[in-house]
Amino acid sequence: MAPVLNIKAALLRMTLNSKIKMLAGCHILLAPTVNTQCSPTGGHSSESFTKDPVLNGNIAAAYINGFQSKGVSATIKHYVANTQEFQSSKVSERALQEIYLKPFQIAIHDSNPWALMIAYNRVNGEHVSDSKKFVNDILREEWGFKGMVMSDWIDVYTTSERPTVMRGKAVERALAGEQVFVSDIDDRVRKRAQASGIPFNGPEEGRDTPEVCQLMRRASADTVVLLRNDKKILLITGQSAIKKIAVIGPNAKNMFFSGGGSACLKPTYVVTPLEGIKEAMRESAFGCSSHRYLPPASPYLRAPGGQKGPGAFLEFWNELPSTSFIEISPNFSEQVAPCAWATPTADTKFFMADGVDSSKVNEICWIRYSTTFVPDKDGDWELGLNVTGQANLFLDGKLVIDLSTNPERGENFMNVGTVDVIRSVKGLKAGQEYHLKIRLCNEEYVKHGPLVPGHGGLRLGAFCTIDPEDAIKKAVQNLKDADLAVIVAGINHEWESKGFDHPDLELPGLINRLIPDIIAANPNTVIVNQSGSPVHMPWADQAHTLLQTFYGGNKGGHGIADILFGKGVFVGYRNYEKRGIAPRFPFGFGLSYTTFEFSNASVTPISEDSRFSVSFTIKNTGKDSGREVGQVYIADPDSSLPCPGKELKGFTKVNLKPGEEKKATVELTRDAISFYDERQKAWVVEAGTFEVYVSASSADIKLSTTTELKQGFTWIGL
């Protein structure tokens, strides 16, 4: 949402989102994530907004205000300096205050979130969850935060036993030893009692009204940023000479609606980029693969036993169903004892933390997953499996994957699952039915202390083997009669997730081979990169038209199509400027289909309560309607401490018709002219002259002026 740079839009969307969550019986949303995106390989980057603390805090505040307006709690996270998953972040006190704590400070001041989640990482060697400084001194005392503070799953490191509903004696011991007090417990219980009032087991309802669909579509389009349009290929209109479009790339037929981890929920439906632009497209080609694990096997599965529809059947036993159930045995018999519980499922990936009838199924259990596998192509197929525990996969009674003997631990299922094992099956026929069974035991998973209670999980993938070089050649051949090629590439939730960081910034597979070949075959190529964090683009100088899109939710495909066909408009540093580095695409950058002119910058005098405003005029000087973001940066050239050349302090978005102009105003407070002094342990505002810049990006200054403060002061808190 950070590319939107639009507080009102974020507020509206999250207000509507809150209504939807209420219908779904949701009491609390474990978001927003306001991690500062300092590391480009950070696993949480796809959930986060930006690396700028002011933008981060303002978007988070709008998100929280909108969401909580209908009674559902938001949870601001991950507090604090969570730039990578588990390492200790070594940060100076000034950097902590100005960069990492600042977005939390802004959001808590402007929105009052009802809950806050602690990060896994340490800060300067200390776990935040056990830190008096961060939890009590800063959060509770200095900022006056009254909401609930929670750990991130198992993010508790003290040796003191954590009491739960099953450990009342631990509470008594902690009280007797004065490790906690009755008033502490009362305070925590009181916070939980202030939740939404939605029944815990209330019915889950959907809401897919035209209003919701339109807002989701607009939100997706708003997050697309035009980075290059050298040949003015875009936008595509009814008068355009472009009539036939070839759609290519691994992300074209898939809608990756979010990053991975707990943020990756099951959507009711998705619109892929290919579906979004199919009215204008000629044909599509695969190009190359980009998956980290094999794609879900769901499209090729049919319910077993002659049942209609897609899916599989899960059976659970509390005791070993037969002596050879989990063994590789040619004598294994499917004749087993009656199961304790069974259920159909349409999923090929599930983490059974809930949904299983625990009154009938024990924590340690044996599971059989049965389905019918129906390939859609002749050829060799790859099957992939990872599980929590031990398992074997059989196809027509033949062992294909063995995960029963000392399976290697991997990153799946929050680092408690096995590695993904892939095996090839030769000569499968399209349309033929193959009986697929997985036999699983979760005993090893339970013994080693699972991350969450439950019955474990599995992930089944399938992919028809392709020759990578042939796939690229076929993609190039598809361009022969096309007026335009659209490549939809990037990464997805398999590469961006909580629980692990990126190995590097490279695009997976042969994407970096595919794109130059397509550009060479057809210079009229639009490249759409989808990612939630930075990626390496070695072909960027060859690309005439380049868009960056993020994870656009259910309507992501429509959002991309709306940009290509002109139904949406785009908008879219400290360290780079200090080191004299010119990034390819600077902070705040984004092209439009029209042009804008800035004029008449002015600043009101700084008031006694340290408030002031910056005003300027924006005019649309082009032929198309559009939206522009006016960004206000402040610099303190005479600061007693080293300061960045300029810092973003406010922004506003203006909608303009051709020839129209509007006056825009950005309201600012003492935060805009403060820095943190570690010696005084306070925020400092120094008397002097401040430089004010009105910009279209951090590198594109349009106007400049100054303002003066006669008397300095210090402050703490919000």
**Counts of helices then strands in the chain (DSSP H, E):** 14, 34
Same domain, 417 and 528: no
72-107 pLDDT, tens per residue?
889 999 999 887 665 677 888 998 999 999 999 999
Same domain, 156 and 126: yes
* Tokens, residue 674: 């403060």
User: Among 564, 583, 614, where does a domain finish?
Assistant: 564
pLDDT exceeds 50 at position 572: no
pLDDT exceeds 80 at position 198: no
Which residues contact residue 480 at a Cβ distance below 8 angstroms, ignoring those fewer than 6 apart? Answer: none
CA 430, chain centre distance (Å) = 36
Using alpha carbons, select from 66, 94, 100, 68 the residue that is nearest to residue 82: 100
* Tokens, residue 236: 């595509």
Q: What is the domain range of residue 433?
A: 298-331+338-464
CATH number of 84's domain: 3.20.20.300
Q: Residue 406: what pLDDT?
A: 81
Same domain, 279 and 307: no
Same domain, 427 and 451: yes
pLDDT grade, residue 429 (50/70/90)? very high
In a domain, residue 373? The reply is yes
Average pLDDT, the chain: 82
Same domain, 622 and 491: no
In a domain, residue 584? The reply is no
433-466 pLDDT, tens per residue?
999 999 998 887 777 655 556 788 899 999 888 7
Same domain, 442 and 473: no
> What does the alpha-carbon distance between residue 5 and residue 287 come to, in Å, rounded to a whole number?
34
Q: Residue 283: what pLDDT?
A: 46
User: Among 564, 584, 616, where does a domain finish?
Assistant: 564
Kindly state the percentage of the chain with pLDDT values over 90.
33
Q: Residue 21: what pLDDT?
A: 58
Same domain, 359 and 264: no
CATH number of 433's domain: 2.60.120.260
Q: Give the number of residues written for the chain.
A: 718
8 A C-beta contact, residue 287 and residue 525: no
In a domain, residue 581? The reply is no
Same domain, 64 and 137: yes
If residue 514 lies in a helix (H) or strand (E), which one and from where to where?
A: helix 511-521
| Report for 64-68, 304-308, 616-620: range of highest mean pLDDT | 616-620
403-423 pLDDT, tens per residue?
988 888 877 777 778 888 999
pLDDT grade, residue 370 (50/70/90)? very high
Q: CA 687 → CA 610, 641, 673, 708, 714, distances in Å?
A: 12, 13, 10, 8, 11
479-493 pLDDT, tens per residue?
777 888 889 888 877
Which residues contact residue 537 at a Cβ distance below 8 angstroms, ignoring those fewer than 6 apart? Answer: 529, 543, 546, 584
Question: Strands 245-248 and 281-285, how do they pair?
Answer: parallel
What residue has token string 């497209």? 281
Same domain, 118 and 63: yes
The 3-state DSSP class for residue 449 equals: coil
Backbone angles phi, psi at 552, to 5 degrees: -90, 15
Q: Average pLDDT in the 608-630 region?
A: 93
In a domain, residue 202? The reply is no
Q: Average pLDDT in the 147-163 region?
A: 72
Same domain, 346 and 457: yes
Angle at 215 (CA atoms; ends 214, 218), nearest 5 degrees = 85
In a domain, residue 575? The reply is no
Angle at 171 (CA atoms; ends 166, 173), nearest 5 degrees = 125
Same domain, 364 and 423: yes
Q: How many domains does the chain have?
A: 4
In a domain, residue 75? The reply is yes
User: Among 158, 193, 228, where does a domain finish?
Assistant: 193
Output 196 or 664, whichever has higher pLDDT.
Answer: 664
Annotation marks residue 152 as catalytic: yes
For the chain, state the CA radius of gyration: 28
Q: Average pLDDT in the 5-10 region?
A: 59
Q: Residue 339: what pLDDT?
A: 92
pLDDT exceeds 80 at position 320: yes
> What does the alpha-carbon distance between residue 600 and residue 79 come to, in Å, rounded to a whole number?
41
pLDDT grade, residue 183 (50/70/90)? confident
Same domain, 71 and 188: yes
Angle at 220 (CA atoms; ends 214, 224), nearest 5 degrees = 140
Which residues contact residue 136 at a Cβ distance below 8 angstroms, ignoring those fewer than 6 apart? Answer: none
Write down the catalytic residue from 52, 137, 152, 402.
152
> What does the alpha-carbon distance between residue 75 and residue 116 come to, in Å, rounded to a whole number?
5
In a domain, residue 589? The reply is no
CATH number of 222's domain: 3.40.50.1700
* Tokens, residue 640: 């007693």
In a domain, residue 395? The reply is yes
Cα distance between the two ends of the chain = 25
> What does the alpha-carbon distance between residue 161 and residue 182 come to, in Å, rounded to a whole number?
17
CATH number of 671's domain: 2.60.40.10
460-475 pLDDT, tens per residue?
999 888 777 887 888 7
